[in-house]
Amino acid sequence: MGLKSCKRKGNGVRCELTLRNEGKDTGFSIHRRYSYSFDEFGGKYTAKKVSIAGGDNQATLISKVPVEATMVFENISKKATIFTRFDIAVGNDKVKFRDIAIR
């Protein structure tokens, strides 16, 4: 999983990711309610929308085929310029990124 960018759009931020399955074809989902971002002022935001391959939060990942995903966070402070931490809930695990610029 790779985080490409997070871009401000209105009062929200849209983050773009690339998913790539290196194993056998498998089902995959991102749990919106347990995926968070934190800004440099301590603000915590829950993902409002998740889309994988243009659909909802679930998809079948075909082996070695990259898939685009997006996550949208709303009501982000206009002062925020970075997500100091970005947690993506996948199954029982979390993928964590740090210090992601908000463009």
Query: Looking at the domain assignment, is residue 6 inside a domain?
Result: yes
CATH number of the domain where residue 44 is located: 2.60.40
Q: Where are the alpha helices (DSSP H) in the chain?
A: none
Query: Looking at the domain assignment, is residue 51 inside a domain?
Result: yes
CA angle 11, 14, 15 (to 5 degrees): 145
DSSP 62: P
Query: Looking at the domain assignment, is residue 41 inside a domain?
Result: yes
- For residue 79, how many C-alpha atoms fall within 13 Å in the half-sphere facing its CB? 5
The closest alpha carbon to 70, from 82, 88, 83, belongs to: 88
Given the structure tokens 């074809």, which residue do they identify?
25
The total of structural domains in the chain comes to: 1
Give residue 58's domain range.
2-91
Query: Looking at the domain assignment, is residue 100 inside a domain?
Result: no
pTM above 0.95, yes or no: no
Query: Looking at the domain assignment, is residue 52 inside a domain?
Result: yes
- What pLDDT is recorded for position 91? 83
Which element (helix H / strand E) includes 94?
strand 93-101
- What pLDDT is recorded for position 92? 86
pLDDT beneath 50: ranges in the chain:
none
* Sign for the pseudo-dihedral over CA of 57, 84, 73, 2: negative
Q: What is the separation, in whole angstroms, between the first and last Cα of the chain?
A: 20
